[in-house]
A and B are shown apart, each in its own frame.
Chain A
C-alpha cells in the first residue's frame, strides 16, 4: 500500500509544473553561476604572497618605531623579522627558486611564528595588520595537507575549489531554504483541494507523510546533485582542473583541518540531505498547523531570520542558533562559529543538532495526529483536516 501510494504521489509531483520549475532552476543554477564567476580570475599565489609580504613589511615598520621602548614589542619585532624574511623566501621559491617543498616548510614555520606572536597579543601591531588566529590555523592546515599529500602548490584545482565553496556558500542557507519551502508548501494543503478523492485512503497518516517527504526529497536531491554535477563538469573543463584530492578547509573540534574536495563534497551533500528532510518535515508541520501554502514560506523564512532579528535587538538567544545551522557552508568553514561566537559549532555538532530537530518535528507531527483521535467535541463537531 505504501509503495502504491508513493507511486501516486510521484505521479502528482511529476504533473506539477512548480516542481519542474524548481528542477530546472537547480539544474541551471550551478552552471550559470560558474559561467559568470569563472571569468573572475582569483589572485595568483604570487599575488597573495606579495600582498602578505607588504603587510609583514608594514607591520615590521610599525614595530620598529616602538620596540626600543617596550620589551614585549621587541620580542614581537624579532619574530616579525623572521616572518618577513621567510615570506620573502617564499616569493622566491614560487618564482625563480622553483622549490615547492621549501615553500611549504617556510609556510609552516611562518605560521608557527605567527601563532607565537598571536599568543603574545600582537603587541605593537596595528589592528589592520593583525592576521587573525583562524586565518593562521587555516593556512597551517592547508600547508600540512599539501605536504602530506605531496600536492603542487599552484594548480587550477585550487581555483576550482574556490568556485565550488563559493557557489555552495551562495546556495546553502537562505536560497536552499526558500527552494525547499516552495517545494513543500503544499505537501498536505493540496489534499484539501482534492479531499473527497484522497481523504478516505486506508493508509496511516505517518505513512502518507513519509511518502510525501520521500518523494519530494528524491526529486529535490536528484536535481540538486545533477545540477551541481553539470556545474562542476563545466567549471572543471573550463579551468582544466579535474582533481578532487585538492584541499578545502573544514572547521572541526575548534580547529581547522584540510580535507580533500571529494571528502568536503561528501560532507556537504550528506548535510544537504538532512537539511532537505528537516525543511520538508517542517513544511508538513506548518501545513498541519496553518493549512496555508503561503504561510509555509513566510513563516519558514521568518524563523530563519529570527536569530538575526534577535541579534539586531541585542538579545543573545543561543537557543535560536541551531536555526542557522542549515547554512552548511558557513558551518563547514567555521564562519558560523565565529559569527555566533560559539566555537563548538562544527559539522558533526550541527548535524547532530539538526538530526534531533528533525526527530522532534516528526514526533510533533505524530503526536498532533494521535491527539485528533482523542479529542472530544464540545460545542462543535470536529472536522478531520487531513
Chain B
C-alpha cells in the first residue's frame, strides 16, 4: 500500500533522514519512535508531500507517486494527517471542524454525530474551539481525522495532552480502525501505549531505521530485572553473552534456547535481588527505546 525508497532529507548542516526505506500495508498500525528532533514529523511530511525530499520516492498502491498535482490529489484523497492543536480555528466549533474534514474527504457529514458521541465530545463539541482545554482540542483533532475516514492516516503525537481515560478511548478507536483495514502511522512518546495496538514500531536514529520491532511476531522472550550498575558489574561475568543491559538499569536474559533447569537457575539467582520486580516476556517499546536512546 505504501512504499518509501531511499528517502533522504538533508539541510546544509543537518541530515534528518538518510536513505530511509520501508513499506507498509493496509490493516497495520505502525508506531514511530524517536526522541524529539530526530525526523518523525519530517517523515510524515514527506509521506504527505508537504516536504519534497532531496532524494527518494514515496509510492502508494504500487504506482502512485507525487509527480503531478493530479496524482497528489489522488493520494491525498486516501490520506489524512492529524492536525496540530495550535492550528485549529478558534472561532469555529468542534462540529465545524469535523464537518470540514468529513465533507472534504467523504463528501458528506452524516457520520460526524456518531463520531463525537463515540468520543464522548457531546458536552462541548458545539462550542467554539477557543473555549476548549488541551485534552478537548486533542480529542477534536483525532475526531477530525476519524471524520475524514481515509485508508491512510498519519498521527503525530495523537495522545498529546490526553488523560488516562481518553488515551484508552482513543486506543480502542485506533484498534477499531485497524480492523477496518486502515494503515495508520503513529508517532508517540507514550511508549507502553503503542504496545497495545501497534503491529510494528520503527525506531529512528541518525536519519535511518535503527530497529523495527514486530510486536505480534516476536517469540524472543527475556527474564527482566532492574539492577543498579554496581549490581550489574558483579553479575555480568555470570550472565550469558547475548544478555542485554538496557538504560543502565534493566538486565534482560534471553530465555530462548535455555533449558527449564537453566531458566529456574536464573530465576533463583535473580530472586536474591530483593525489592526488584522480575518479569518474563518480550522486550516492550519502552525497553527498546531505552536501549536505543538512553544507552549513551
Instruction: Report which A residues bind B (CB closer than 8 A).
Output: 1, 4-5, 7-8, 11-12, 15, 193-205, 369-370, 373, 375, 377-384
Q: Which residues of B contact A373 (CB under 8 A)?
A: 66-69, 72
Q: How far is the CA of A378 from the CA of B144 in the complex (A)?
A: 36
Q: Is B103 an interface residue (CB 8 A)?
A: yes
Question: Are A200 and B81 neighbours in the complex by a CB distance under 8 Å?
Answer: yes
- Cβ contact within 8 Å between B107 and A202: no
A301 to B72, CA, bound (A): 36
Q: Would you list 11 pairs from A and B whose C-beta atoms are within 8 A, ordered by A residue?
A: A4-B104, A12-B92, A196-B81, A196-B87, A197-B84, A199-B81, A204-B69, A369-B69, A373-B66, A377-B52, A384-B52
The answer on a CB contact under 8 Å between A8 and B100 is yes
Q: Does B83 contact A (CB under 8 A)?
A: yes
- A382–B82 Cα distance when bound, in Å, is 21
A198 to B88, CA, bound (A): 10
Q: Residues of B contacting A4 with CB < 8 Å?
A: 103-104, 107
B149 interface residue (CB < 8 Å to A): no
Kindly state the separation between the CA atoms of A383 and B52 in the bound complex, as whole angstroms.
6
Complex Cα spacing A259 to B66, Å? 56
Task: Determine if B236 is an interface residue (Cβ-Cβ < 8 Å).
Answer: no
A193 contacts which of B51, B72, B87 (Cβ < 8 Å)?
Answer: B87
**B137 CB → nearest A CB, Å:** 12
Q: Is the pair A197, B52 in contact by a Cβ cutoff of 8 Å?
A: no
Tell me which residues across on chain B come within 8 A of A11, comparing CB atoms: 92, 96
Q: Which residues of A contact B79 (CB under 8 A)?
A: 200
Q: What separation, in Å, do the CA atoms of A147 and B70 have in the docked complex?
A: 62
Determine which of A202, A370, A375 lies in contact with B104 in the assembled complex, contact meaning CB atoms within 8 Å.
Answer: A202
Q: A12-B89, A196-B82, A384-B49 are in contact. List 8 more A-B contacts (CB 8 A).
A: A194-B87, A198-B87, A203-B73, A373-B69, A373-B72, A378-B54, A380-B10, A384-B51
Q: Give the residue of B11, B76, B88, B105 whose beta carbon is less than 8 angstroms from that of A381.
A: B11
With contacts A194-B88, A196-B81 taken as known, whether A1 is within 8 angstroms of B107 at the C-beta atoms is: yes
| B12: chain A residues within 8 A (beta carbon) | 379-380
- Residues of chain B with a CB closer than 8 A to A200's CB: 48, 50, 76, 79-81
| Residues of chain B with a CB closer than 8 A to A379's CB | 10, 12, 54
Q: Which residues of A sit under 8 angstroms from B84, Cβ to Cβ?
A: 196-197
Cβ-based interface call for B77 (8 A): yes
Using CB atoms, name the residue of chain A closest to B66: A373
B200 at the binding interface (Cβ < 8 Å): no
Task: Give the complex CA separation of A384 and B72 in angstroms.
Answer: 12
How far apart sit A310 and B88, CA to CA, in the bound complex (Å)? 46
Chain B contacts with A in 82-136, Cβ cutoff 8 A:
82-84, 87-89, 91-92, 96-97, 100, 103-105, 107
Which chain B residues border A370 with CB–CB below 8 Å? Answer: 69
A383 touches B50 (CB 8 A): yes
Question: Is B53 an interface position by the 8 A CB rule?
Answer: yes
Chain B residues within an 8 Å CB radius of A381 = 9-11, 46, 51-54
In the complex, the chain A residue whose C-beta lies closest to that of B105 is: A202
